[in-house]
Every structure is written in structure tokens, then in C-alpha cells.
Amino acid sequence: MDASTADMTLATIFNFFGDNVSLLLSECLWTLKMFAAAFGIAVVIAVPLGIWLGHIHRGSFLAINISNMGRALPSLAVIAIGLTIFGLGFLNVMIALVILAVPVILTNAYVAVDGVERDLTEAARGMGMTGFETLFRVELPLALPLLFAGMRTAALYVIATTPLAALAGADGGLGDVISNQASYRFDGVVAASLLISVLAFAVDGLFALLQRYVTPRSLRGRGGIEAKGSALEAT
């Protein structure tokens, strides 16, 4: 592709943005709706379970194996299986995205709470704190940075996988533009793909800020949270 052809391609892509603002905005909102539904359900399921397993220090086998099983299941395979149960549409894809997000959040929540130094929890109990008080006043505040690291990773997975909704017959989303090249041409495919990338960067940036906000000042600047989170993803 020579320079003039590349310039023409970029021009047509920008023209597509200008000519289809309302369409792209609507599809972005639908994509965010799918993301919010799947991610919210995953958080409700995984965070309490991971925190509880970490608090009782007995859930390593369950947390790690659920994580490994979830990561071993390709999203397309989960969607294909779900078609036979839930049929085409929003629900099927949402369940697949929940299955994708739960293992990461669960593992990080468990390790975050389980990894709090035992000396601190024993000192809290020695001061007369109950189990719940120890959890909410000692373990959770120290576990929040790593917990949010898992949520950040899961959020990125979900928003980047949301376009697969179009393959399962869901009516809407940027994936619908990407998969419908006959109607939207190459320009529409590239424009929608760029918007998915922008949404992914925006979601990642938002959770990065939240992760930094909940990280104690004494831990900032060491790179420990990010490094530890990356190590967990490779577990």
C-alpha cells in the first residue's frame, strides 16, 4: 500500500466517523451496557467468595482450580455451548463474559486476603476484634490494591471480548459493525475496532486510577502491586 492509498484509507475512516456519529455512539453505549452487566455480575459472584475463602485460609485449591478452568474455556466455545441452552442474544454472551471474568477476580480476591500477614490478624484478634472486625478493619484495607488489580484485568478481558456478542446473534454493539462488513465496509470495521480499543484503554485507565487510590501511600511507587498482579495472572 503506497502513501496515497494509505491517506485515502485514513480519510475514508475519518469520514465514516463523521457520517455515523449517532450510530457509533449508540453501539458504544450498547457495548458498555453489555460490559457493565457481565462485569457487575462477575464482581458480585467472585469478590465475596474470594474474600471469604481468603479469610478462612482454606480456599486455595478451589480458587486456583476455578481460575484455571475458567481460563481454559475459550469464550467462543462457551458461547457455542450457551446457544443450545439460552439461544441467540444478550443473555448468552453475558454469561460467557461472566465466566471469563470470574476466575481472575476470584483468584486475586482470595490471594489478596489470604496474603495478609498473619501477625497482623493475630494482633487484631489479640486486641479483642471478632472475625468480621478483623476482616473489615485489617484484612480488607490491606487486600484492596491487589483485589482491584484483579478487577482491572477482568474488566479489560470483558470489554475486549464484548464484540463477540455479534457472533451469538445479539442485536447491537460495536461487534455488530465489525462483523457486518457487507454493510459498513472496511471503513466501518476499522472505525468500530478503534472504538473498542479506546473503550478498553478507558476502562483500564479508570481501574488503574481506582487501584492507585485504594493503595496505601507506603506501597505506591514500588511497583509491587502491578508486579504481583501480573504474577497471579500467570499462575
Tell me the C-alpha to C-alpha distance, in Å, between residue 126 and each of 49, 51, 114, 119, 141: 26, 22, 19, 10, 19
Cell of 153: 484485568
Cell of 31: 457495548
Q: What is the pLDDT of residue 219?
A: 59
Cell of 108: 486475586
pTM of the model: 0.79
pLDDT digits (tens, 9 = 90+) for 197-213: 999 999 999 998 888 88
Domain covering 32-233 in this structure, CATH number: 1.10.3720.10
pLDDT digits (tens, 9 = 90+) for 136-173: 778 888 888 889 989 999 999 899 888 877 776 666 77
Lowest mean pLDDT among 14-18, 45-49, 58-62, 216-220: 216-220
Q: How far apart are CA 90 and CA 169, in angstroms?
A: 8
pLDDT digits (tens, 9 = 90+) for 22-45: 888 988 998 899 899 999 999 999
Cell of 169: 446473534
Q: How far apart are CA 127 and CA 44, in angstroms?
A: 31
Q: How confident is the model at residue 228 (pLDDT cuts 50, 70, 90)?
A: very low
Residue with cell 462457551: 78
